Amino acid sequence: MNEKAVDFSLDFFSLKGKTAIVTGANTGLGQAYAVALAKVGANVFAVSREIDWTDTKALIDHDGGNATYYEADLSDRSSIQGIVDTCVETYGSVDILVNNAGLIKRNPLLEFKVEDWDSVMAVNLDAVYLLSQACAKVMVEQGSGKIINIASMLSFQGGKFIPPYTASKHAVAGLTKSFANELAHHGIQVNAIAPGYIATNNTAPIRADEKRNAEILARIPAGYWADPSDLMGTVVFLSSRASDYMNGHVLAVDGGWLAR
Ligand code: NAP
């Protein structure tokens, strides 16, 4: 073993001095990612459409974390470069990008409106591609970086009533591998987290549907819907030195869903 084995400690998971852009950080999983990264020392550049940052700010302030809150609509392509430029102006770098923002539209296939296809693809796929590319340019200059995409069980399975969501999340898994292959030799790791069933606004309608909720719970080996905080360790790991030899992996955090 080389000297890394001697140096290895919890410091490998520290993000002190690093800067992380997290999209959709005002609520749900994005909030958990932003808070987790701030707790281990990162400057967080939190992006969302929502101007009410009260909850995220309170959680980050609680530990004396550092964050900047930036409003942008990711479905507007012209907003992308401004996110990266403002982050670099504010903190001097972009070390970590968490492409978390996403939306879901549910409707039977034959009734699905093309506007809904477009709105899902714009945020779940186009913005992921464009923001990753813009950040990668900064990261290649730096010679280091971490890009973490948010995939889904619908990166592996088809689902029902959510064709654009499924297509977008399969594509996110593909983009993760494609970016990883081109960026690994620049010292940049690109990976994805595929959350299972997590209690957030995104899943409120299916949790409210008694029959569907019971079916889902019966299939999860862990037996419960995760809380967003259950994914905090994963995002820290994938953002840190501890994962420097992981490239192009889609990591399921799903209470065992895919193992069934
Ligand atoms: P959520 O609570 O609905 O949060 C979605 C986030 O995306 C919000 O911050 C939302 O901001 C932001 N967003 C949506 N459209 C946007 C736009 N045009 N511009 C900027 N921000 C936008 O959902 P969540 O469950 O935390 O989902 C987060 C990610 O995890 C998504 O990519 C989702 O597909 C993925 N995921 C979730 C689950 C789950 O079980 N919950 C499972 C697998 C994957 P606003 O509040 O302003 O709308």
Q: What is the CA radius of gyration of the chain?
A: 18
Task: Give ligand 1 pocket residues (Cβ under 6 A).
Answer: 24, 26-30, 48-50, 73-75, 100-103, 123, 150, 152, 195, 197-198, 200-203
Structure tokens at 70: 């930036």
The answer to whether residue 165 is catalytic is: yes
Ligand 1 centre distance from Cα of residue 11 (Å): 30
Q: Per-10-residue mean pLDDT for the chain, 260 residues long? A: 90 98 97 98 95 93 96 98 98 98 97 98 98 99 98 98 98 99 98 98 95 97 98 98 98 97
CB 18 within 8 A of CB 96: yes
DSSP state of 198: B
How many Å apart are CA 109 and CA 149, to the nearest integer? 26
Structural domains in the chain, CATH included, are: 12-255 (3.40.50.720)
Q: How much is the pLDDT for 34?
A: 98
Q: How far apart are CA 61 and CA 181, in angstroms?
A: 37
> Exactly one of 69, 91, 165, 197 is catalytic; which is it?
165
Ligand 1 atom with the shortest distance to the CA of 228: 26
